[in-house]
Amino acid sequence: MKRYFSILMLFVLTMSSCKKDEVASITPQEYANLKEEFINPPDSTKPGIYWYFLSGHISKEGITKDLEAMNAVGIGEVFIGDIFYMPPSTNPHGLSYDTPMGNTPSLSDKWWDCMRHAISEGTRLGMNISFFNSPGWSQSGGPWVKEEQAMRYLTYSETVVSGDKSIEIALEKPKEFFQDVSVLGYPIHQKQSATPKIKALNCKASALKNLLDQNKSTVTTFSNNGQEPLILEVSFDRPITARSLTVSPTKMHFTSHIEVQVFEDGKFKSVKKRLFDRAFSLPGRGPIPDADMIMTLNHIEAQKFRIVMDKVPADFELTGIHISEDYKIEHGNEKWLNKMANRGVPGWDVFQWKTPEYSEQQDVLNTDKIINLTEHFDGKVLKWDNAPAGQWKILRIGMTPTGQTNRPATPDARGLEVDKLSTKALRSHFDAYMGKMIKSMTPEERKSLKRVIADSYETGPQNWTDDMKESFEQTYGYDPTPWLATLTGNIVNSAEESDRFLWDIRRLIADKVADEYVDGLRDICEEYGVSMWLENYGHFGFPSEFLKYGGRADEIGGEFWIHRQGPESKLAASASHIYGKNRVYAESYTSREVPFSVSPVRLKKSGDWSYTQGVNQGILHVYIHQPYEDKFPGMNAWFGTEFNRNNTWFAQSKEWITYQRRNYFLLQQGKHVADVCFYIGEESPKMRGWVDQNLSAGYEYDFINAEIITEQTKVENSRLVLQSGASYGALVLPPWNTMRPEVLRKLKDLVEQGATLIGLPPEKSPSFQNYPNCDIEVQQLVKELWGERQPKAKDFFHHKFGKGNVYANGNINEILNKHQVYEDLIFPDSLNVKWVHRKLNGVDIYFITNQGDTQVTFDASFRIAGKSPELWSALDATSRKLPMYSNEEERTIVPLSFNVNDSYFIVFREQGHGIKKNLSVAQNFEAEKPLKQLSALWDIQFKNEWLETDFTLEKQPLFDWTTSSDEKIKYFSGTATYTTSFELTEEESKKAIALNFENIGTIATVRLNGKELGTLWTTPYRISIENTVVQGTNTLEIDVTNNWMNQMLWQNKKPQDERDTWVLANTLEKMPNNGIMSSGIFGKVWLSTKNNK
């Protein structure tokens, strides 16, 4: 509580300063400083980089050289991960390559010494050193974690006994390691079961009767072809009332739609269909990844059924099919988090289920019939005196480890994942790894040690811990013990009440992961003098809520891959914005590309896109530690871009890194501007939120959660204002039918104070807390907030409440405009343009990027009044006023032009009044005219220092190296120095001249008359040579570097023992030679100048 009070006070102070900022204007000196730091960004903007030590391949000499190389190009921090390079049987791509272990085993004395050496070298070089909190990249575990400290889940054994007597019986222990939680008994009603028969209609099957024996150790294999649906027919010796279907898979991976059909009136008709997703049977998808699929059937009376499964693989397997007259909890395993969604990025509603409606609910298990027998059990034998008459089922319920280990960690460093619901267990884990490292060095020696890392959560869920019962009772006010009977799939009291209990369990888990794990880790880090950095989401098995989970950390990171535009960076940005963290980090440029085929020109577009998602500080992915001086290109992996000193272009990457730093700097100024916040709801787990796809691209948005709404939000001037300083013109609800009354009460207060709320009203609370009174309160609040006249169907709805407004079924853009929340930036819908807006003391900073594949020109309309635009380019550190613009009705119209791969800032500060009409983009982006074609012959020296290649071509025209008939040129990788000269007259030499290249493959450093002018790494390949050219002869030298890929393709033609190159993951072996990449300087080279220069 002490820290939260401090944070609250900080928020209050922040709000006070924000109010001042709204009226304060930046001074001329401050603005000049802003420009200076944009040109020469401060050290704090240096990107970090993931630095992986693979499988014990580590050397002190390599550590020193790696850090020196990183420091030289402007990298300021490393995230050290001790990573096991997964062999083909376990890596996700099934790649076939050897994975030899190095000579520095993880956690050995030599290994610890190397880690301390890295920290010491970081101190010497002025670089920050940070460590993953455990071996591997996910999540928090190691060989020191005991089973009773591990992630655990509930399992059980069942025993049937007859009552009307005293009972003394040994209860089966379900797992070898098992911690008892409770023993429950409840009556069971004997029913005369109908006898089923089953047959496969469109394929043969081995041991088909195994499907009906309710024994998961027996398997039926079908001889299906994997193309046609699998059709099974189940018939009974008499009609039954079917209430549930249970299908038991093996560990075979598949995703199918399963359909139930019944025979009625002489034909089969469909009664229900749903997804059966078992795409991955890995521990990260839950402790029971091959869990049963449970489907409810609403009182279906029939004698013959068909089960149709589409898209199942050939030679499909199942262990059971059970059509039952008993009620079961639909999605029961998913609701208990025994099985998670098999999607890397689950949809916003994946863990939301509407409770099935039953026409009748007889013979369900009632809590008043469930007897807690825990005190009668001594850990082995149950002694139950005078048990009531009848048949009783005894459940022995307890915890067992999920089996999840830290990954990917070497065998020496691999162990159970620590309990994510217990800070006590977490502390033991921290002390054994990071604590040991910190304590082994003096404060001066570890001066560079800054952060502890928790990467994206890939460890799967757990559903119980030692104090879970007490935490549950404290949170919800009722005892969860009788409800543990839902573990069996049984409905307790009703489907509605069972689902509410399970909602409470999942929400408590989400909160405890945030509070016990993330906040607990941050507390421990603070005690050790380091900060805690984490990615606030997880793939497949994330058990928490991404906003609250991130909000508990010191610093939040997202990620982006160069081949896809995922949601992770937006998730990190939203958490940072609403919890008051200015920097939004991102694991940057992760990839699965062909090894050594990527260079900065390929990376720019995805990097620019990330800024528009809110990212303003990058962590490059990935630098694989290079321990060897005789293996080139050296250590690599199937993942990540090869940022390392053995990559051909790495030493020339400083200007690309500086480009990023300039962007980081400006995007860290002031506050992020957004107009809409989308409420994510309280359903959990939750890895992303819902967004109204009708929202115009001219608005920015964030996600917001219940915690921030209820505790840190107020209304000022009809805008929702957070303690972080973020503000929004409207709050939008997701299309879901539940909300806790606590949240709804706060929404009522906010609207009454003037907020705009968009969305349909909830129907009930999702929780069993205070049920049914909670629903009564929700309904009363809905009547007040939405009015007596509720929204109907899809008709537009508006209700004035207090000073605010409530809408439903309307166009979100029209609603925003109605309340003078106009689009921040307007541009043609057809353009693939992305943007982001920051505001600092009267300065508006827009970053805009062309994400399309063609040059675009358009009039951009900014929500800015009375100010003149400036263009700031991070590419060449220039800034200039744009003379052509107009001010119209509180907006500023600016003609803009973007080349392919282009981006820049538009900055508004100074007062200005543009022209009223005839806007011309040509005056803002003056065209250059050719001055002179450089058609001279070139001397070209080819050099690869790693392979000791060195040869020269003299008097050559420009050509693409890959077109050469000489294989040593065609497949050359490395740096070629081009030398030529050109003549200029006195008049020409005084012009503002630029040097232009049509094609460069892939990066080029330019020197003119002995002076280095810069490095060209992206299109357009243009560099100013003004003030460097002279009258007469000018000598031009260009160092052009291509990728390693071409050379490696050539080397792969040779027997392995004759190759000059070596990499750990040589996926190029299977790549055709036509994948060779154009290299060198080719096409036109010319000088240009402005028309008026």
Would you give the DSSP letter of residue 407? B
* Sheet bearing 391-401, strands edge to edge: 152-162, 391-401, 179-188, 371-372
For residue 878, the model assigns a pLDDT of 97
Residue 144: which pLDDT band, with cuts at 50, 70 and 90? very high
For 180, counting Cβ atoms within 10 Å of its Cβ (0-12 exposed, 13-18 middle, 19+ buried), the class is middle
CB distance 943 to 977 below 8 Å: yes
For 1092, counting Cβ atoms within 10 Å of its Cβ (0-12 exposed, 13-18 middle, 19+ buried), the class is exposed
876: which residues sit within 8 A by CB, 6+ positions away?
1024
CA angle, 137 as apex, 452 and 63 as ends, to 5°? Answer: 70
Can you list the positions of beta strands (E) in 823-866? 825-826, 833-840, 843-850, 856-862
CB distance 206 to 409 below 8 Å: no
Gap between the Cα atoms of 137 and 128, Å rounded: 19
- CA 400 vs. chain centroid, Å, equals 29
**What is the chain's percent helix, strand, coil content, to nearest 5?**
25, 35, 40
In angstroms, the Cα distances linking 932 to 935, 982, 992 are 9, 9, 13
CA nearest to 831, candidates 808, 796, 805, 859? 859
pLDDT digits (tens, 9 = 90+) for 1025-1040: 999 999 999 999 999 9
For residue 410, the model assigns a pLDDT of 95
For residue 95, the model assigns a pLDDT of 40
Residue 191: which pLDDT band, with cuts at 50, 70 and 90? confident
DSSP string for 9-61 = HHHHHHHHHHHHHHH----HHHHHHHHHHHHS--GGG--EEEEEEETT---HH
pLDDT digits (tens, 9 = 90+) for 19-64: 433 446 899 999 999 999 999 999 999 999 999 999 999 999 999 9
Report which listed range, 6-20, 97-111, 699-713, is most confident. 699-713
The one-letter code for the residue type at 383 is K
pLDDT digits (tens, 9 = 90+) for 146-161: 999 999 999 999 999 9
pLDDT digits (tens, 9 = 90+) for 675-698: 999 999 999 999 999 999 999 999
What domains are defined for the chain?
45-145+420-479+509-669 (3.20.20.80), 196-324 (2.60.120.260), 673-818 (3.40.50), 931-1042+1077-1090 (2.60.120.260)
Q: Which tokens in the block code for residue 560?
A: 């982006």
CA angle, 894 as apex, 888 and 899 as ends, to 5°? Answer: 160
Gap between the Cα atoms of 865 and 561, Å rounded: 37
Average of pLDDT values for 882-896? 95
Gap between the Cα atoms of 586 and 334, Å rounded: 30
In angstroms, the Cα distances linking 434 to 115, 132, 623, 647 are 11, 9, 21, 31
Is residue 14 pLDDT above 50, yes or no?
no
Among 97-101, 552-556, 564-568, the range scoring the smallest mean pLDDT is 97-101
Q: Which tokens in the block code for residue 507?
A: 């929400």
Gap between the Cα atoms of 1012 and 756, Å rounded: 57
Gap between the Cα atoms of 1052 and 1059, Å rounded: 7
Pairing assessment for the beta strands 128-132 and 449-454 based on DSSP bridges: parallel
CB distance 399 to 154 below 8 Å: yes
DSSP string for 873-918 = ETTTTEEEE----EEETTEEEEEEEE-TT-EEEEEEEEE----SS-
For residue 4, the model assigns a pLDDT of 36
Is residue 665 pLDDT above 60, yes or no?
yes
What is the distance between the terminal CA atoms of the chain, rounded to a whole angstrom? 65
Gap between the Cα atoms of 687 and 542, Å rounded: 7
227: which residues sit within 8 A by CB, 6+ positions away?
none
pLDDT digits (tens, 9 = 90+) for 571-612: 999 999 999 999 999 999 999 888 999 999 999 999 999 999
Beta bridge partners of 845: 838, 907
Query: Helix, strand, or coil here: 470?
Result: helix
The one-letter code for the residue type at 31 is Y
CB distance 221 to 246 below 8 Å: no
CA nearest to 121, candidates 185, 211, 61? 61
Residue 1019: which pLDDT band, with cuts at 50, 70 and 90? very high
Would you give the DSSP letter of residue 285? G
Question: Cis omega (within 30 of 0) on the bond before 685?
Answer: yes
- CA 603 vs. chain centroid, Å, equals 19
Q: Which tokens in the block code for residue 31?
A: 């603005």
Residue 98: which pLDDT band, with cuts at 50, 70 and 90? low
The one-letter code for the residue type at 89 is S
Q: Which tokens in the block code for residue 905?
A: 């800032």
Average of pLDDT values for 890-911? 97
pLDDT digits (tens, 9 = 90+) for 383-420: 999 999 999 999 999 999 999 999 999 999 999 999 99
The one-letter code for the residue type at 3 is R
Gap between the Cα atoms of 474 and 494, Å rounded: 24
740 CB neighbour count, 10 Å cutoff: 23
pLDDT digits (tens, 9 = 90+) for 966-996: 999 999 999 999 999 999 999 999 999 999 9
- CA 981 vs. chain centroid, Å, equals 51
Pairing assessment for the beta strands 381-387 and 165-170 based on DSSP bridges: antiparallel
The one-letter code for the residue type at 73 is V
Gap between the Cα atoms of 1040 and 1001, Å rounded: 7
Residue 915: which pLDDT band, with cuts at 50, 70 and 90? confident
The one-letter code for the residue type at 222 is F
Query: What is the maximum span of the chain, computed from C-alpha positions, in angstroms?
Result: 115
For 187, counting Cβ atoms within 10 Å of its Cβ (0-12 exposed, 13-18 middle, 19+ buried), the class is middle
For residue 1092, the model assigns a pLDDT of 54
Length of the chain: 1093
CA nearest to 58, candidates 119, 139, 99, 118? 118
